[in-house]
Amino acid sequence: MLDEAAVLACMTYVDLNPIRAKMAFTPEQSQFTSIQRRIKAAFQGKQPERLLPFVGNERDKLPKGLSFAAKDYLSLVDDTGRLLRNDKRGAIQPGSANILTRLNIPLENWLKITHKFKDLFTGPVGTLDDLTRYCTHLNMQRIAHARSCQHWSG
């Protein structure tokens, strides 16, 4: 995962696997997922142990953690999960879409990558710029997996 957008998409994809597999109807019912642990901890006003915390949108002296708010992530996953289920159609709400806007992920691409993440990405994941920096850092002659990373931008 080369950037925050890649981490967000992968987390969402994994957290929604039980819904796609029809093993659960909602994220909070998805057994053995990080989102279920985060939801249970949030009800107690805590951060789940052994999971990287959400540290919000602050950029100055950013502590180690995910740079978006837990509330935003939970809303985005819930909205995305509603789009995946035929019996409970929904939409990405404007408040949840803020995280996508901040990370420069078009909504259409978000739906594509969170629904088919494992099919689309077989190597490094991030924007084409991040991938180029990654490949340059590794002294690679060509930019591997560039086509997959084009799913990030419009």
Taking 3-state DSSP, the helix, strand and coil percentages for the chain, each rounded to the nearest 5, stand at 55, 0, 45
pLDDT tier for residue 19 given thresholds of 50, 70 and 90: confident
d(CA 16, CA 37): 13
Residue 32: is its pLDDT beyond 60? yes
| Domain chopping of the chain, boundaries | 4-119
This prediction's pTM: 0.76
State pLDDT tens for residues 49-86: 888 888 776 555 556 777 778 888 888 888 888 777 66
Burial of 142 (0-12, 13-18, 19+ CB in 10 A): exposed
Residue 103: is its pLDDT beyond 80? no
Return the bridge partners of 66, or none: 54
pLDDT tier for residue 105 given thresholds of 50, 70 and 90: confident
Residue 141: is its pLDDT beyond 70? yes
